[in-house]
């Protein structure tokens, strides 16, 4: 199965999570980071999800799933421990042309939620097209080790340097300029220490060298 990779803007969009166990907790956490409006559907929920409902961070529909729960949804996640319920959710959502992911059987929906590593605005994802979630998890951990916390501010820094990078020349020159910045030990050390201004000044020096 060949999948088209895509990152979706969920800010302010209605997303429905059916199920309220440990898997649902992880899905809800990821959706909240994206600014989604979350509707949780389940008769019972874990304490953390109950707390989120009490705080108004999500809307909890405390009953068994039925198709009306999908009204107005942009995206749906089926995360119950009952296969027949997940099947019904996927069937109903696809019948309405709504994006739906089945946590128990990736091929049963019309999109997959890949393993991911987030460092600020930098998001790295890994997918095995549903063949091996364990392999995806192993690769994600490797990415976590390779791309440390400093990559968040480093990505923000590259945004500040965008015009300077574009002015470096052709594609090869622009890539060389980026490599010069991200590989510079003074830039990286400054970001690790929280000295963004110092790192930016050094990065601009790197860009000036690449144009000489």
Tens digits of residue pLDDT in 164-210: 999 988 999 999 999 999 999 999 999 999 999 999 999 999 998 75
CA distance 61 to 44: 9
CATH for 60: 3.40.50.720
Q: How many domains does the chain have?
A: 3
187 phi/psi in degrees, rounded to 5 = -60, -50
Contact 128, 104 (CB under 8 A): no
Domain that holds residue 187: 151-210
CA distance 168 to 212: 10
Q: Please report whether residue 4 resides in a domain.
A: no
Same domain, 108 and 164: no
Share of the chain above pLDDT 90, in %: 87
Same domain, 55 and 75: yes
Instruction: Return the bridge partners of 117, or none.
Output: 124
Same domain, 20 and 106: yes
- pTM of structure: 0.84
Same domain, 45 and 91: yes
Instruction: Return the bridge partners of 18, or none.
Output: 41, 78
Q: Please report whether residue 49 resides in a domain.
A: yes
Same domain, 78 and 136: no
Same domain, 93 and 176: no
Sorting pLDDT into bands at 50, 70 and 90, what band is 1? low
Contact 100, 123 (CB under 8 A): no
Same domain, 119 and 108: no
């Amino acid at each position: 199965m060949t999948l088209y990779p895509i990152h979706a803007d969920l800010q302010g969009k209605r997303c429905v999570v059916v199920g309220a166990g440990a898997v649902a907790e992880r899905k809800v956490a990821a959706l909240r980071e994206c600014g989604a409006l979350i509707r949780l559907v389940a008769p019972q929920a874990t304490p953390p999800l109950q707390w989120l409902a009490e705080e108004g961070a999500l809307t909890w529909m405390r009953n068994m799933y039925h198709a009306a729960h999908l009204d107005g949804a942009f995206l749906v996640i089926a995360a119950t421990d009952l296969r027949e319920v997940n099947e019904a959710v996927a069937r109903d959502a696809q019948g309405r042309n709504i994006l739906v992911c089945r946590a128990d059987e990736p091929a049963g929906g019309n999109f997959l939620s890949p393993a991911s590593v987030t460092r600020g605005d930098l998001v790295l994802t890994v997918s095995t097209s549903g063949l091996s979630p364990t392999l995806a998890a192993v690769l994600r951990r490797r990415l976590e080790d390779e791309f440390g916390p400093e990559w968040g501010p480093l990505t923000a820094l590259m945004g500040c340097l965008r015009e300077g990078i574009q002015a470096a020349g052709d594609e090869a020159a622009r890539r060389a300029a980026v490599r010069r910045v991200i590989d510079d030990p003074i830039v990286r050390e400054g970001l690790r220490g929280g000295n963004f201004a110092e790192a930016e000044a050094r990065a601009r020096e790197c860009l000036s060298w690449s144009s000489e």
